[in-house]
Amino acid sequence: MDALKFDEQVCATCPTGDCLVKCQYMEFDADGARAEMLKIFRGEDSAVLKDCVTCYACEEYCRRGNHPFYLIVDRQEEKGMLTAPRPITNQWINMTTMQGKMMTGAIEDRAMSCCFIPQLAELAGGEIFKDYAWSFALGAEYMCPAVFLHFARKSIIRERLPQVIDNLARTGAQEVLCMHDECYGTYTSIAPAHGIDVPFKPIYYMDYLYERLLSMKDDLRPLGVKVAYQRPCSNRLIPEKHHLVRDILDLIGADLPDREYQDENALCCGEVPRVIHGLRFAEDIQHRNIDDMLETGAEYCVFNCPACQTTLSELVTKKGLKPIHLIDLCKMAIGEKGEEV
């Protein structure tokens, strides 16, 4: 895996410094942001390397094709910085090590990547995903290693990503349906940003979901519910796909009212900030986020990422919101799943 493609001249001429001006965890004006990114590029010390909560959002905020967050992660690791406590970082490295225990379905020309998350294989069943039945690829051998961006360990990504891509390519699949934003973001953002080829065509599950629901339009029953959406950090790597949430919700008759922490201004689920900056810091994010959801009058909290769902389900339930994955909400709209959650 080659060096990150990052052009300091693009920063030097940047009129907005949006990467850090829009960061929700730091205060910068445009001149300061531009200067700080150039400092980081030159390998100088920067408070950004310490204060970053690894929300991934500056990858979306930069509209000039540079990769501010990927650069921050490289510099953190070069300086030997740990974002999370060492035991947690090592635990992640160890528990996701490839051990030959992957599960591979009957894959022909297309595969469904369920990463390292068994819940994704459960979600991806039923009528909606019937074209992908038994084509799953699940386990550490197929796990996109993007999570190590959170732990300032891009070296793990550099080591594992080519192996993961090779493992998926060896299944013979020409197309890989990515059931997790982190996987699609890895193959369409991290890989090209580091000059690594992806020999198969990654397909984003929401693209598939939208098209599939359109083809089932006669079977759709408008839900007539109001929902709030929890945007995951990894969606920041693929902001061009964010519109699909609203497109799908429109299709199934779910209303997504505007709220403060939505779209570019979304707050993460708080799990990674908890291990990086502590419980109180995470609780502040979570409470602001959930209170904001409640103010819209939403009945459901809709998740895209199973990790966010695991982190926030109990909290949102206690506040009176029903947690549900977007796919399950779609299954409700075709009558495959009941309304109890």
152 binds ligand SF4, rule: CB under 6 A: no
142 binds ligand SF4, rule: CB under 6 A: no
Q: Which of 40, 49, 53, 156 binds ligand SF4 (CB under 6 A)?
A: 53
Task: Write down the residue that tokens 């490295």 correspond to.
Answer: 93
Closest of 56, 53, 59, 47 to residue 272, by C-alpha:
53
Within 58-117, the residues that bind ligand SF4 by CB under 6 A are 58, 62, 64, 66, 68-69
Closest of 139, 143, 200 to residue 170, by C-alpha:
200
Cα–Cα distance list, 3 to 36, 133, 138, 153 (Å): 21, 38, 28, 14
The total number of residues shown for the chain amounts to 341
Of 236 and 331, nearer to ligand SF4 (C-beta) is 236
324 binds ligand SF4, rule: CB under 6 A: no
Q: How far apart are the C-alpha atoms of 329 and 128, rounded to whole Å?
A: 12
DSSP string, 155-195: HHHHHHHHHHHHHHHHTT-SEEEESSHHHHHIIIIIHHHTT
Of 66 and 289, nearer to ligand SF4 (C-beta) is 66
47 with 25: CB under 8 angstroms?
A: no
Q: How far apart are the C-alpha atoms of 57 and 110, rounded to whole Å?
A: 31
Cα–Cα distance list, 213 to 10, 155, 197, 241, 249 (Å): 41, 40, 31, 17, 11
190 binds ligand SF4, rule: CB under 6 A: no
300 binds ligand SF4, rule: CB under 6 A: no
State the nearest-atom distance from the C-beta of 48 to ligand SF4, in Å.
6
Of 66 and 188, nearer to ligand SF4 (C-beta) is 66
User: Using CB under 6 A, which of the segments 25-33, 125-133, 150-158, 242-250 binds ligand SF4?
Assistant: 25-33
34 binds ligand SF4, rule: CB under 6 A: yes
52 binds ligand SF4, rule: CB under 6 A: yes
18 binds ligand SF4, rule: CB under 6 A: yes
Q: Write out the residues near ligand SF4 by the rule CB under 6 A.
A: 10-11, 14, 17-19, 23, 25-26, 33-34, 37, 48, 52-58, 62, 64, 66, 68-69
